[in-house]
Amino acid sequence: MWILTAEGKDLIDASYFKIQKNLGGRDQKYVIAAYSQTTTSVALAGAVCAFFPDENKAKDELDKVIAFLEENPEKVYRFGK
């Protein structure tokens, strides 16, 4: 699945997503990070896709990613800002 990162600067072929704490984030305490099997730097550290004030909002967004993937397997998902 192709994902445009939070800054809109990288388009990656994500194969795994993880909700994790945003270290140093004051208002945006959680992130969804995407990981790739083919891009080494993204496979190791992940690419931040979006920032969230709480874990439940991150989970809601991840549910949207799942629904999008089920309906549009060949398209690019863009996280809301």
Q: Model's pTM, two decimal places?
A: 0.81
Per residue in 44-55, pLDDT (tens digit) is 778 889 999 999
**Quick one: pLDDT band at residue 58, thresholds 50, 70, 90?**
very high
Per residue in 15-54, pLDDT (tens digit) is 889 999 988 777 889 999 998 887 666 667 788 899 999 9
User: Across the strands, what pairs with 8?
Assistant: none
Tell me what pLDDT residue 40 has.
64
Q: Any residues with CB less than 8 A from the CB of 29 and at least 6 apart, and which? A: 21, 22, 52, 53, 54, 55
Give the separation between CA 21 and CA 16, rounded to whole angstroms: 16
Q: Any residues with CB less than 8 A from the CB of 42 and at least 6 apart, and which? A: 10, 12, 14, 34, 35, 36
